[in-house]
Amino acid sequence: MSEGLPAQLPAADWRARPGLGKLCMALGSEQGEARFVGGAVRDALLGLPVKDIDIATVHEPDEVIRRVKAAGLRAVPTGIAHGTITAILDHQPIEITTLRRDVSTDGRRATVAFGTDWRDDAARRDFTMNALYADPADGTLHDYFDGRADLLARRVRFIGDPHQRIAEDHLRILRYFRFTARFGTLDRASPDFAACVTHATSLMALSRERVADEMLKLLGLPDPADVVAAMVSDGVLVPVLPEISESGVESLRALIAAERSTGVAPVGLRRLAALLPQDSAQADQVGARLRLSNKARQRLRLAAAPADAATPQALAYALGEESAVDRILLGRSFSPEHAPSLIGWTAPRLPLSGGDLIAMGLTAGPLVARTLQALERAWVNQGFPDAETTRDMARQMVESTLRSSQ
Ligand code: ATP
Ligand code: MG
């Protein structure tokens, strides 16, 4: 027995969610036909909060839908081809998946068959710590591959032969590093690590979106620096992100330290910005290659572009709060202690319009726009003074413009 971890699924808030017991019973949990699985079981054993509840069941999807509805809940066929039905319990989704085994795999997608064998279902999961099942009623664990012992030892271990498991689904390489950064200790001597390094080029066969999604999840963890350092030094990222170098890892460490000292929550995209060279054209290329949204691409680009502002607020006014915080924590503008005050800061609006300048005596035309711009600059640099002060500033500007045009 592994000490230091409960022998059964511990009592926790999420297990007492109203309606959950009824849903499990409807799925036949008392007959051993439905169990909690995956992240919920793993995280609960570690005493961590659980967000997503996954249930595995011997029933096929149509039967799952019937049973979920009979329990008075909404059933959404979110991934029916893969056997997943989502039950909505108190506005929160619970994923219910029929037991499966792989029929064929090609590194990117799997064809599955439904089954009734728990061990088969466990065997197609990625890591031993992700293949733990628990009976909803009494919390009894079902552990087919020593996942509990690995969890205790903080060992992220592939189920079966790592080479074969990576050949089946290349994304598992990135998942290995993500779970290692989250729960594990980095063991460069392990066969699992070695297999991930050996097969790194197979990452090129994956869709860029999946790579990006997994990388951003990894980077968004509290401290992925040691794992990323190992990925860089052993060439794991070269096939997908050749721009990242050892100096990028140093910037990542500095960013993490700045986030910690200021208490600002990590963001995967900001961590990625730290890893990339400070070159906005390159940042944009990476954003395009990873098929990031326009908003995310812009964020990556702004983190790397030259920017000049009189104050942290002026920077936030020009780039938006998010990008200003990014630049400050990345050590590219001002110093880190300015970051927290910008979080949630909404830029004030210039309390004057072109119409006001015309009312002060300017003739409608390009001069109005130019004067308004100059006024805005002065207003930003002076820390967004109130309407009255701004009006005084505007009057002086209009007067001197009129004087010089006479
Ligand atoms: P998280 O808290 O990050 O969501 P999780 O363990 O729930 O962690 P998911 O990606 O949501 O991870 O996947 C749910 C479960 O599905 C995993 O615990 C694992 O058993 C299985 N799984 C997910 N992706 C794969 C994969 N690529 N190969 C094999 N099994 C996988
Ligand atoms: Mg999950």
Q: Domain for residue 18, yes or no?
A: yes
In a domain, 17, yes or no: yes
Confidence class for position 99, pLDDT limits 50, 70, 90: very high
What's the pLDDT tens digit per position in 356-388? 999 999 999 999 999 999 999 999 999 999 999
Task: Give me the pLDDT at residue 404, please.
Answer: 86
* Ligand 2 centroid distance, CA of 173 (Å): 17
Q: How far is the CA of 53 from the centre of ligand 2 (A)?
A: 8
Q: What is the pLDDT of residues 248-279, one digit of tens each?
A: 999 999 999 999 999 999 999 999 999 999 99
Please state the rounded mean pLDDT for residues 130-159. Answer: 97
Output the CA–CA distances (angstroms, integers) from residue 94 to 42, 55, 87, 114, in the order listed: 16, 7, 5, 19
Q: Tokens for 56?
A: 């595995």
Q: Which of 153, 185, 211 corresponds to the end of one domain?
A: 153
Q: Whose CA is closest to atom 1 on ligand 1?
A: 39
Last residue of a domain, one of 131, 153, 175: 153
Please tell me the distance from the alpha carbon of residue 273 to that of residue 295, in angstroms, as a whole number.
Answer: 14
Ligand 1: which residue has its CA nearest to atom 3? 39
Q: Hey, whose CA ends up nearest to atom 6 of ligand 1? A: 39
Report how far residue 307's alpha carbon sits from residue 333's, in angstroms, rounded to the nearest whole number.
8
| 321-329 and 268-275 helices, crossing angle to 10° | 50
For residue 48, which ligand has an atom nearest its CA? 1
Of the ligands numbered here, which is closest to the C-alpha atom of 50? 1
Query: 1 pLDDT exceeds 60?
Result: no
Quick check: is 231 in a domain? no
Residue 35 has pLDDT above 80, yes or no: yes
286 within a domain of the structure (yes/no): no
- For residue 60, tell me if it sits in a domain: yes
Does the pLDDT of residue 23 top 70, yes or no? yes
Ligand 1, closest atom to CA 169? 27
> How many angstroms separate the alpha carbon of residue 125 from the centre of ligand 1?
7
Q: Residue 399 is part of which domain span?
A: 354-405
Nearest-atom index, ligand 1, CA of 179 = 3
pLDDT at site 4: 84
Which ligand has an atom closest to residue 156 CA? 1
What is the rounded average pLDDT for all residues in the chain?
Answer: 96
* pTM for the predicted model, two decimal places: 0.94
In a domain, 262, yes or no: no
Count of domains for the chain: 2
Q: Is residue 324 part of a domain?
A: no
Residues 243 and 205: their CA atoms lie apart, in Å, by 19
CATH code at position 93: 3.30.460.10
pLDDT tops 70 at residue 166 = yes
